[in-house]
Amino acid sequence: MGWKAAEKLITKWKILRGDNVMIIRGKDKGETGTIKRVIRSQNRVIVEGQNLVKKHVKQGQGHEGGIFTVEAPLHVSNVQVIDPVTGRPCKIGYRFMEDGSKVRISRGREASGSVIPRPEILKMRRKPRPIEPGPKDTPIDVVLEKTYDAKVGIGMPDL
């Protein structure tokens, strides 16, 4: 990526992994799908089952070669989130609810103004949190040890 393209990176993303989107430009115009992956360094998204291209892979150790069909990335400006009420593509805005929570709403000419829920897939972690401590984790008894007390003078520097 050149420096000109790097200047135009999107800082605040409104499209998230797991959103239902419609492709508004390109060879798959009008098709819908779910966002499988977001590539923020290139302003691109991969839509599940759309923008399929043939990829020629050379045979190597551990894998076979051949011609495979893969999903190519689309620029984020070529997709729009689908309004959950009307089923048509819409822009996304943000609004604060009465309880103080920030939600996404549908905006645009034919939008209903309804809340667009966060995708369920974002609640799951890609890598599960480790349950048992690893070799570099600090033992719990060392963590709970009291090493500083201002009243008694424990841990005070000698001045």
CB atoms within 10 A of CB 81: 20
> How many structural domains are present in the chain?
1
Q: What is the CATH number of the domain that holds 73?
A: 2.30.30.30
Is the whole-model pTM more than 0.75?
Answer: no
Residue linked to tokens 């709970």: 144
- One digit per residue, the tens of pLDDT, for the chain of length 159 reads 666 666 788 889 999 999 999 999 999 999 999 999 999 999 999 999 999 999 999 999 988 999 999 999 999 999 999 999 999 999 999 999 999 999 999 998 888 889 999 998 888 877 777 788 888 988 889 889 888 887 877 777 776
Q: Look up the domain containing 85 and give its range.
A: 19-90
Asked if residue 4 belongs to a domain, the reply is: no
